[in-house]
Chain A
Amino acid sequence: MSQNFMGSGSGRALASVLLLSCLAAWAQDKPADQAAADQAAQKVAASICSSCHGPTGASVSPLFPRLAGQQEQYLVAQLKAFKGKTRSEKDAHDYMWGMATLLEDSVIEGLARYYAAQKPAPGIPGDPALMARGKLLFEKGDPERQVTACSACHGEAAEGNSIFPRLAGQHAPYVVRQLDVIQRKFRESPIMHGVIRELNPAEMKAVAEYVQSR
């Protein structure tokens, strides 16, 4: 019976070397690809995204969300949702569909890494009474009305977690607008639909004022 090449000791050694070489080459290529994507993403961020979202994602206009320090997974999900037109509230349609369509997935991931790595802009304090009311809702929710505490998913400091976005320092008018479109199901968010079903406009404003101050 002839010996199988792979069955021989020297053959196994050679195969192992080849396999390791391939893995090493792949491991080297991946950072190279990622570095290229990151470079392309930073160029897009500086020349285009910053027009509305500000340099490093620290936007000044409440029309446009702050992106600095945002969760990477959340950003990838949102950009892909814009690109796939599955996030379809009016602002998404008016501003982001076209922009996201132009982005390759590798650049989307690069943008997400870029913004996630930026230093978040400091919070903007608002009306103390409103912030106090918002703090209560954010930390405790309203169990009697089945309003879950925001902090359960968005973190104690509203820093976000994975697909749950960072809310700290976000523009209050933007947060209110998102809560509104999610509640009215213009923006799909299965988890949030249930959580904020009972939230009224005054409560939205309060919780937005609080997270903006963080």
Chain B
Amino acid sequence: MTKVNSLTVKRRRTMIQSARQVGMRWAFSFGAALMLLGAGSAQAVPAYARQTGQNCVACHVSFPELTPYGRWFKLSGYTIGQRQTLPVAMMAQLGRSQIKNNDDGTGSNTLVTARDQMAALNGASLFLAGKVNDNIGGFVQWTYSQNYNTDGTSSGHSGIDNTDLRIVGRMTSEDANEVKLLYGLTVHNNPTVQDVWNSTPAFGFPFTASPTAVLPTAGTVIEGGLAQQGAGVGIYGFYDKTWYAELSNYRTADGAFSVLRAGQDINTPGGVARLNGNNPYIRLAYNREWGANSLMLGAFGMRVDRYVDNTDTSSGTDRFTDQGVDAQYQYIGNPHTFTTQLRYIHETQDYRSSFAQGATSNASDSLNSLQFKATYYYEHQYGITLSHFSTSGSADPLLYPAAAVTGSALGRPDSSGNILELDYLPMQNMRLMLQYTAYDKFNGGSGVGYDGTTLRRPSDNNTLFLNLWVSF
């Protein structure tokens, strides 16, 4: 059986969160999905579509990537349209993954994942989503997920997923012909889940990933490291559809805010992160729309003081400082749509407590993360996406130790690779996708034995993922 250390577990969860962030975590059988296929789009529209009466394409290039109108809808606190009596929606995914080499190389015929080449049910989400009145709206996502263990067993779990609640206000121009300033307050539980551009982590690419794939160990805190783990309160303003500014603060979701991490594991070391005090996040973006084009250039930053042991506040904290720049360009036409996003994050890791406790090799490390993706859609139905990702940073053998499959021979976090994804949307609320992830570097190594224990190569972790994703 593959050994999985707690950091790996954490990282796996972190990476998988990009899937959870969009509500994926699945749960319906193929039979149910096929029934949905026959159900027709009239019965299969999510809560916001029912609220606005509009189809998915009004807000999404393909879900969850937002169009300019989708961004406006979100910043307006999800309040456009008519309040629904039953503002609920559901989402489910069912997939099948195939890893290039499923033998972990330890010589004991142990599989990397026992769920390889089999249908995997990863969870299902229930959304409570919509407007309360013209100034208040939001969504709460509750997800049931299935966790697959390397020994072939699995266990179900349910808990809160992405959540974003808003109160908004509008200032119109002197002639009352347009909203000059759209501003609001947001309460949420995942840094950047409140952002409206898909270059930030929460709703960034990949929008969903294989639930059983082997993922690189290292990732910055802002890239899912606090998803569904903290309580965020922020204020924002969008002026003249040009300038966006936001200031948010994150704290441990305790007391009245504990609902924002309901169902998450707070009692096990390595579980939900515990934060110390206030953890600020700032975001600035320049936005421009012309013709069928839109462009965003932005920057964001966050500082996090996280307890070494989430179950013990006497364990001391480490400080993570993330600084990011991002950009997005979209051409949304008919029948051609092209979009691209770029994100770069530099993280400074101040292990002020972990180092003293002998858990890291250095008092401070750094980590850099690069994400790029480009997508083309024909008639909002047939899509192809190419993505490149790269992580690099300081060597730290204690932080990145050797271990079969998930370890590092060099004690380094460096990983890189590419993703090719093909999408087909037979209906706007249904996506059939084929995603291939290929690694050229994994946990610091680019050749044989990158994990420091076996003869495994980075490409052995290449994963083919076939996925059906529906919302209704």
Interface residues of A (CB under 8 A from B): 42-43, 45-48, 50-52, 55-56, 60-63, 93-95, 97-99, 101-102, 173, 177
Q: Please name 29 pairs of A and B residues whose Cβ atoms are closer than 8 Å in the assembled complex, sorted by A.
A: A43-B176, A46-B172, A46-B179, A47-B170, A47-B179, A48-B80, A51-B72, A52-B69, A55-B173, A55-B177, A60-B290, A61-B289, A61-B291, A61-B292, A61-B332, A62-B291, A62-B292, A62-B333, A63-B334, A93-B55, A94-B54, A94-B55, A94-B57, A94-B58, A95-B55, A98-B49, A98-B52, A98-B81, A99-B53
Q: Which residue of B lies closest to A171 (CB)?
A: B291
B82 within 8 Å of A (CB atoms): yes
B269-308 vs A, Cβ < 8 Å mask (1 yes, 0 no): 0000000000000000000011110000000000000000
Q: By the criterion CB–CB under 8 Å, are A63 and B81 in contact?
A: no
Please give, as numbers and ranges, the residues of chain B lying within 8 Å of A48 by CB-CB distance.
80
Q: By the criterion CB–CB under 8 Å, are B177 and A42 in contact?
A: yes
Interface residues of B (CB under 8 A from A): 49, 52-55, 57-58, 68-69, 72-73, 76, 80-82, 170, 172-173, 176-179, 289-292, 332-334
Q: Which residue of A lies closest to B240 (CB)?
A: A55
Please give, as numbers and ranges, the residues of chain A lying within 8 Å of B68 by CB-CB distance.
51, 61
Q: Which residue of B lies closest to A100 (CB)?
A: B53
Contact A173:B177 (CB < 8 A) given known A46-B172, A98-B53: no
B219 to chain A, nearest CB (A): 35
Within the complex, which residue of B52, B290, B333 is in contact with A63, where a contact is CB–CB below 8 Å? B333
A94 to chain B, nearest CB (A): 4
Q: By the criterion CB–CB under 8 Å, are B291 and A60 in contact?
A: yes
Complex Cα–Cα for A51 and B67 (A) = 11
Please give, as numbers and ranges, the residues of chain B lying within 8 Å of A55 by CB-CB distance.
173, 177-178
Contact residues of A: prevailing secondary structure: helix
Please give, as numbers and ranges, the residues of chain A lying within 8 Å of B291 by CB-CB distance.
60-62
Complex Cα–Cα for A173 and B292 (A) = 10
Complex Cα–Cα for A97 and B290 (A) = 25
B458 to chain A, nearest CB (A): 42
Q: By the criterion CB–CB under 8 Å, are A99 and B52 in contact?
A: yes
Please give, as numbers and ranges, the residues of chain B lying within 8 Å of A50 by CB-CB distance.
177-179
Q: Which residue of A lies closest to B294 (CB)?
A: A61
Please give, as numbers and ranges, the residues of chain B lying within 8 Å of A61 by CB-CB distance.
68, 289, 291-292, 332
Complex Cα–Cα for A95 and B55 (A) = 6
Complex Cα–Cα for A55 and B54 (A) = 21
Please give, as numbers and ranges, the residues of chain A lying within 8 Å of B82 by CB-CB distance.
101-102
Within the complex, which residue of A63, A93, A99 is in contact with B332, where a contact is CB–CB below 8 Å? A63
Complex Cα–Cα for A66 and B332 (A) = 17
Please give, as numbers and ranges, the residues of chain A lying within 8 Å of B176 by CB-CB distance.
42-43, 46
A82 to chain B, nearest CB (A): 10
B80 to chain A, nearest CB (A): 6
Complex Cα–Cα for A3 and B289 (A) = 77
Q: Which residue of B lies closest to A64 (CB)?
A: B69
Complex Cα–Cα for A88 and B176 (A) = 32
Please give, as numbers and ranges, the residues of chain B lying within 8 Å of A98 by CB-CB distance.
49, 52-54, 81
The 8 tightest CB contacts between A and B, nearest first, are: A98-B53, A55-B178, A94-B55, A51-B72, A98-B54, A98-B52, A56-B177, A55-B177
Please give, as numbers and ranges, the residues of chain B lying within 8 Å of A95 by CB-CB distance.
54-55, 58
Please give, as numbers and ranges, the residues of chain B lying within 8 Å of A52 by CB-CB distance.
69
Please give, as numbers and ranges, the residues of chain B lying within 8 Å of A62 by CB-CB distance.
291-292, 333
Contact A173:B81 (CB < 8 A) given known A63-B292, A98-B52, A98-B54: no
Q: By the criterion CB–CB under 8 Å, are A173 and B333 in contact?
A: yes
Please give, as numbers and ranges, the residues of chain A lying within 8 Å of B172 by CB-CB distance.
46-47
Q: By the criterion CB–CB under 8 Å, are A97 and B334 in contact?
A: no
Q: By the criterion CB–CB under 8 Å, are A173 and B54 in contact?
A: no
Contact A173:B334 (CB < 8 A) given known A62-B291, A62-B292: yes
A115 to chain B, nearest CB (A): 11
